[in-house]
Amino acid sequence: MAKVVIIGIPGETGLWIADLDAGTVTPLNPTGDLATASSLRKAGGIFVKGVDLAVAVSSAQAALSGHVDG
């Protein structure tokens, strides 16, 4: 099972890496195929692999209350 997730959201030009075991989220400078996939975001592309739920919410408070924006 994956314990690390790479995140990119609209409005953020960069990517982030979330290490679930360490409980950290840090900026990621993509290289190789990941950089290629990331560049597709500039044209509106979406790349999803190995994730079965992802929701962007307006705040942590919204997520903790069970609210899903949108």
Rounded Cα distance between 12 and 40, Å, is 14
Ordered per-residue pLDDT tens for the chain, 70 residues: 679 999 999 888 889 999 999 999 999 999 999 999 999 988 889 988 888 888 888 888 888 888 776 5
Cβ distance 69 to 56 under 8 Å? yes
Residue-wise burial string across 29-67, b where 16 or more C-beta atoms lie within 10 A, e elsewhere: ebeeeeeebbeebeeeeeeeeeeeeeeeeeeeeeeeeee
